[in-house]
């Protein structure tokens, strides 16, 4: 029993980590709830599908174009949606919400569920670990997740751009006075934020829900993790991802899958009551 | 003294008179208004037209209209079909119904889903005396609709149901589960039930009709339910669930659901520790003929109810019906069968009654027994608890089960009378 909970917990934790890191990074740098991020999840399978099936390109090429388009989406979102509305939280909230819903409906119009959007696992087969079967691709997802987060940590701690991002996340005005180009840092943060969820969705799509409305449940998970970890703090996000991953695994296995979301929400509420700023105080991105 | 008319002159005169007379006659007839053709018999449908099911239902109605008109119409009159969109809103069903009955003067209205059907039943009862017409419900109409009919039979006597109901489904669950368990010698099952209003009779039973909760019923039939859970339709992560089922020793997974994300379920089941445990999913995307493609073949071995099988023959008309619908680009849905059967029953009733008088049509509907699709059509009479609903069970209307097989198609495997291929446990299929 413990091996099942542990392995599923590890798998879910790694997936949740990738899903929530980008959202948390954007919050950490901008201090905004960027709901336009939701569509980043949905873009992964659908943009890939368009170039793979509609334009008959090879799957790796379709992935590459999808990533380029995701970057362009981030830049466009920042330039035309976030930047002009940064001073007005209400308007920004509405704008990002509308972007998300607009793209969701657009995707649903062209590719409803019956269109059968999917793509195959590029790592075939499973391995038996203890009493559970684990798809090789999901195992690879776990390894990539950990490697990616370590790389991100290294990037934030050891590179000049990383230092700038941390500086802006701590105190934007002070960073600006120190000569940091805040506009450029924001842009970097937006671009970096799309990589963890994009890589995650590429890895898990063969085993996960693909629908035009797949973004919201993922965003909700990211939101819960961010609240527990401390809004916008990546160290907190890592810890919270593992807490929620193992909690979901245990609750689902021991009780019922019905209680997984409830357990996560309960955990988030508890944190809000006992440590309102999260496990790690979220005043900076790292 | 005048000259006598010669013979030639008289012939010419005669010809002139005949030509003038014929011309006048022709002019008279051509200037007369053309006799008006018999007014069409109008049949209406209220569906959610943003769904594939709604579009398919409309196609089926038009298909039937063309067939009937080709056969010479009904009572010598052409048939016209009018479909209204309810936009998925209950209130819109009532508005659409009123429009169909009072403006279009339809003699039959097809509806679907319990809540929408119930709303139209009330509207139809209000209008019945002034605008007598029939209502036939065609998909997912629970026992509640029959209860309403029997609560005031005279008020709702125009109401019929063309789909199987709660009592039929309960019986099918028991019979099919028993079949698979017996055939494979299984004794332990995992029972999962979608947490929705429509599944209440299966989680809590229907004491009024002597039905126990499904878990108890299965156990009384000799199956040990080693894993039991309610599942929510928004769930997306099933790996721990399948691991728990595998750990429970279950040999068969029986999932009562219509709205779960079957795509995700199947993709995760196929790589989980439960991948060699036979999986029955009652409905949803799993019934669509594109499901194999959508799951990349992960659905191999999955069993489901009323799927879009590539071939089935019960009364004979099914292969052509399947071909016609697939040619339109839309696959088969169970609703398509229900709609077509409802229309066939209406056609037979009109022919039997020889009139459009609603009371006589109601009587005729209760008396007919005809070949429909997936079995004979016969409506049950009161005092049966599900009166005015089609009789279910071979040779009457059946809900077959299909299994996803190696060639990427879903094949009918149950009941044995209509099976096109024997059921094979997933473990053997994977080999």
Which domains can be identified in chain A, with CATH numbers? Answer: 2-274 (1.10.3470)
Say yes or no to pLDDT of B431 above 50. Answer: yes
| Minimum-distance CB partner of B264 among A11, A208, A260 | A208
Same domain, B297 and B322: no
Neighbours of A150 (CB within 10 A): 10
Nearest C-alpha neighbor of B164 from the set B354, B431, B414, B392: B392
Domain assignment present for B13:
no
Domain assignment present for B1:
no
Q: Which domain covers residue B364, as residue numbers?
A: 41-161+316-377
Q: What is the ipTM of this complex?
A: 0.81
DSSP H helices, chain A, are: 2-30, 38-49, 59-77, 83-85, 89-110, 136-158, 160-170, 172-177, 182-193, 195-204, 215-229, 234-254, 260-274
Question: Which pLDDT band holds residue B235 (cuts at 50, 70, 90)?
Answer: confident
State the Cα–Cα distance between residues B331 and A25, nearest whole angstrom: 45
State the Cα–Cα distance between residues A138 and A37, nearest whole angstrom: 23
Report the residue of chain A nearest B52, measured CA to CA: A114
Identify from A53, A119, A252, A255 which residue to disrupt to test chain B contact, counting B C-beta atoms within 10 A and taking the largest count: A252
- Contacting residues of B for A210, CB less than 8 Å apart: 263
Domain assignment present for B4:
no
Tokens 């609903």 locate to: B389
Q: In this complex, do A207 and B271 lie within 8 Å of one another by their Cβ atoms?
A: yes
Which residues of chain A, if any, have pLDDT below 70?
A: 282-283
Question: Which pLDDT band holds residue B1 (cuts at 50, 70, 90)?
Answer: very low
What is the three-class DSSP state of B79? strand
Same domain, B227 and B300: yes
Q: Where are the beta strands (DSSP E) in B121-198?
A: 134-137, 159-161, 188-194
pLDDT for position B204: 94
- Contacting residues of A for B261, CB less than 8 Å apart: 209, 211
Regarding beta strands A126-129 and A132-135, do their DSSP bridges make them parallel or antiparallel, or are they unpaired? antiparallel
How far does chain B reach from its first CA to its final CA, in angstroms?
119
Same domain, B272 and B353: no
Q: In this complex, do A252 and B241 lie within 8 Å of one another by their Cβ atoms?
A: yes
Q: How close is the nearest chain A Cα to the Cα of B238, in Å?
A: 7
| Helices A182-193/A195-204 angle, 10° precision | 10
Report which listed range, A225-234, B99-108, B414-423, is most confident. B99-108
Question: Which pLDDT band holds residue B134 (cuts at 50, 70, 90)?
Answer: very high
Question: Around A120, how many Cα atoms within 13 Å sit in the side-chain half-sphere?
Answer: 13
pLDDT for position B34: 59
Identify from B195, B237, B249, B287 which residue to disrupt to test chain A contact, counting A C-beta atoms within 10 A and taking the largest count: B237
Enter the tokens of residue A149.
């987060």
Q: In this complex, do A126 and B271 lie within 8 Å of one another by their Cβ atoms?
A: yes
State the Cα–Cα distance between residues B217 and B223, nearest whole angstrom: 9
Neighbours of A155 (CB within 10 A): 15
Report which listed range, A30-34, B154-158, B231-235, is most confident. B154-158
Say yes or no to pLDDT of B254 above 90. Answer: yes
Domain assignment present for B117:
yes
Domain assignment present for B36:
no
Instruction: List Cα–Cα distances, A252 to A34, A141, A219, in angstroms.
Output: 30, 21, 20
Question: Which pLDDT band holds residue B361 (cuts at 50, 70, 90)?
Answer: very high
Work out the angle at residue B67's Cα, subtended by the Cα atoms of residues B417 and B41, and round it to the nearest 5 degrees: 120
State the Cα–Cα distance between residues B57 and B110, nearest whole angstrom: 10
**Percent of chain B at pLDDT above 70?**
97
Is the pTM higher than 0.95? The answer reads no
Same domain, B185 and B253: yes
Enter the tokens of residue B122.
């009330």
| Torsion angle of C-alpha atoms A213, A216, A221, A226, degrees rounded to 10 | 150
Rg (CA), chain B: 28
Domain assignment present for B205:
yes
Same domain, B304 and B320: no
| Minimum-distance CB partner of A133 among B241, B271, B294 | B271
pLDDT for position B22: 82
Same domain, B360 and B222: no
Same domain, B283 and B424: yes
DSSP B363-383: HHHHH--EE-SSSEE-BPPTT
Domain assignment present for B286:
yes
Query: CB-based burial of residue B298 (10 Å sphere; 0-12 exposed, 13-18 middle, 19+ buried)?
Result: buried
What is the three-class DSSP state of B303? strand
Same domain, B155 and B223: no
Enter the tokens of residue B429.
């299929």
Nearest C-alpha neighbor of A11 from the set A149, A148, A192, A132: A132
Domain assignment present for B74:
yes
Contacts for A4 with CB less than 8 Å, ≥ 6 apart = A130, A131, A132, A249, A253, B240, B243, B244, B247
Same domain, B372 and B295: no
Long-range CB contact pairs, B61-64, < 8 A, 24+: B61/B110, B61/B339, B61/B343, B63/B324, B63/B340, B64/B340, B64/B343, B64/B344, B64/B347
| Minimum-distance CB partner of B290 among A5, A116, A138 | A116
Same domain, B275 and B214: yes
Enter the tokens of residue A197.
């969820």
Q: How close is the nearest chain A Cα to the Cα of B289, in Å?
A: 10
- Residues of A within an 8 Å Cβ radius of B: 1, 4-5, 8, 11-12, 113-114, 116, 118-121, 126, 131-135, 138, 206-211, 217, 248-249, 252-253, 256-258, 260-261
Long-range CB contact pairs, B376-383, < 8 A, 24+: B376/B315, B377/B162, B377/B341, B377/B344, B377/B345, B377/B348, B379/B160, B379/B345, B382/B150, B382/B153, B383/B150
Q: In this complex, do B229 and A116 lie within 8 Å of one another by their Cβ atoms?
A: no
- Per-chain mean pLDDT for chain B: 91
Q: Where are the beta strands (DSSP E) in B257-409?
A: 278-281, 303-305, 370-371, 376-377, 401-404
Q: How many helices (H) and strands (E) does chain B have?
A: 16, 14
CATH number at residue B61: 3.40.50.2300
pLDDT greater at residue B270 or residue B284: B270
Q: What are the beta bridge partners of residue A134? A: A127
Same domain, B339 and B258: no
- Contacting residues of A for B237, CB less than 8 Å apart: 12, 248, 252, 257, 260
- Residues of B within an 8 Å Cβ radius of A: 52, 195, 229-232, 234-241, 243-244, 246-247, 261, 263-264, 267-268, 271-273, 275, 285, 288, 290, 293-296
Report the residue of chain A nearest B244, measured CA to CA: A253
Query: What's the mean pLDDT in B309-327?
Result: 91
Question: Which pLDDT band holds residue B114 (cuts at 50, 70, 90)?
Answer: confident
Same domain, B424 and B369: no
Identify from B50, B51, B240, B295 which residue to disrupt to test chain A contact, counting A C-beta atoms within 10 A and taking the largest count: B240
For chain B, the domain total comes to: 2
What is the three-class DSSP state of B278? strand
pLDDT for position B51: 79
- Contacting residues of B for A248, CB less than 8 Å apart: 237, 240
Q: In this complex, do B231 and A249 lie within 8 Å of one another by their Cβ atoms?
A: no
Q: How close is the nearest chain B Cα to the Cα of A231, in Å?
A: 25
């Amino acid at each position: 029993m413990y091996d099942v909970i542990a392995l599923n917990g590890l798998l879910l934790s790694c997936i949740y980590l990738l899903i929530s890191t980008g959202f948390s990074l954007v919050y950490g740098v901008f201090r905004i709830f960027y709901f336009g991020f939701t569509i980043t999840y949905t873009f992964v399978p659908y943009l890939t599908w368009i170039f793979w099936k509609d334009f008959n390109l090879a799957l790796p090429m379709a992935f590459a174009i999808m990533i380029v388009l995701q970057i362009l989406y981030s830049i466009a979102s920042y330039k035309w949606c976030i930047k002009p509305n940064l001073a007005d939280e209400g308007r920004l909230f509405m704008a990002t919400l509308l972007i998300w819903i607009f793209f969701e409906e657009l995707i649903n119009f062209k590719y409803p569920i019956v269109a059968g959007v999917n793509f195959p696992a590029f790592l075939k087969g499973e391995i038996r670990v203890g009493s559970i079967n684990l798809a090789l691709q999901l195992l690879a997802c776990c390894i990539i997740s950990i490697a990616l987060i370590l790389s991100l940590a290294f990037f934030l701690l050891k590179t000049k751009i990383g230092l700038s991002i941390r500086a802006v996340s701590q105190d934007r005005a002070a960073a600006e006075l120190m000569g940091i180009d805040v506009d450029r840092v924001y842009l970097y943060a937006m671009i970096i934020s799309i990589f963890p969820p994009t890589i995650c969705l590429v890895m898990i799509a063969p085993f996960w829900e693909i629908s035009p409305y797949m973004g919201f449940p993922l965003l909700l998970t990211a939101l819960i993790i961010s609240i527990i970890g401390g809004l916008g703090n990546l160290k907190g996000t890592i810890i919270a991802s593992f807490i929620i991953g193992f909690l979901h695994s245990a609750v689902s296995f021991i009780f019922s899958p019905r209680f997984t979301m409830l357990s996560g929400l309960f955990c988030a509420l508890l944190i809000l009551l006992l440590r309102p700023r999260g496990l790690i105080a979220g005043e900076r991105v790292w | 003294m005048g000259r006598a008319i010669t013979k030639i002159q008289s012939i010419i005169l005669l010809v002139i008179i005949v030509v003038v007379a014929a011309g006048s006659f022709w002019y008279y007839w051509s200037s007369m208004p053309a006799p008006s053709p018999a007014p069409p018999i109008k049949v209406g449908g209220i569906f959610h037209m943003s769904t594939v099911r709604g579009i398919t239902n409309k196609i089926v109605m038009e298909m039937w209209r063309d067939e009937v008109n080709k056969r010479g119409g009904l009572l010598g009159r052409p048939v016209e079909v009018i479909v209204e969109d309810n936009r998925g809103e209950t209130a819109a069903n009532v508005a659409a119904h009123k429009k169909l009955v009072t403006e279009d003067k339809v003699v039959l209205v097809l509806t679907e889903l319990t809540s929408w059907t119930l709303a139209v039943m009330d509207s139809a009862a209000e209008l019945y005396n002034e605008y007598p017409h029939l209502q036939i419900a065609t998909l997912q109409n629970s026992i509640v609709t029959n209860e309403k009919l029997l609560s005031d039979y005279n008020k709702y006597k125009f109401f019929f149901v063309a789909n199987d109901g709660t009592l039929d489904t309960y019986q099918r669950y028991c019979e099919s589960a028993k079949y698979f368990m017996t055939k494979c010698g299984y004794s332990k099952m995992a029972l999962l039930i979608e947490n929705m209003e429509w599944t209440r009779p299966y989680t809590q039973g229907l004491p009024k009709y002597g039905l126990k909760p499904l878990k108890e019923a299965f156990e009384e039939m000799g199956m040990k339910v080693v894993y039991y859970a309610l599942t929510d339709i928004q769930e997306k992560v099933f790996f721990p669930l399948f691991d728990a089922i595998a750990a429970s020793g279950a040999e068969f997974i029986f999932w009562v659901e219509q709205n779960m994300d079957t795509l995700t379920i199947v993709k995760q089941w196929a790589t989980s520790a439960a991948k060699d445990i036979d999986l029955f999913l009652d409905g949803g995307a799993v019934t669509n003929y594109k499901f194999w493609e959508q799951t990349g073949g992960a659905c191999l071995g999955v069993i489901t109810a009323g799927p879009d099988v590539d071939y089935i023959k019960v009364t004979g008309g099914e292969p052509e019906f399947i071909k016609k619908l697939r040619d339109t680009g839309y696959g088969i849905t169970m609703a398509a069968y229900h709609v077509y059967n409802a229309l066939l029953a209406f056609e037979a009733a009109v022919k039997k009654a020889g009139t459009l008088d609603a009371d006589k049509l109601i009587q005729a509907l209760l008396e007919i027994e005809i070949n429909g699709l997936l079995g004979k059509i016969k409506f049950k009479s009161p005092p049966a608890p599900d009166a005015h609903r089609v009789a279910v069970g071979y040779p009457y209307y059946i809900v077959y089960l299909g299994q996803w097989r190696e060639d990427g198609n879903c094949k009918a495997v149950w009941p044995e009378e209509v099976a096109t291929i024997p059921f094979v446990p997933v473990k053997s299929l994977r080999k």
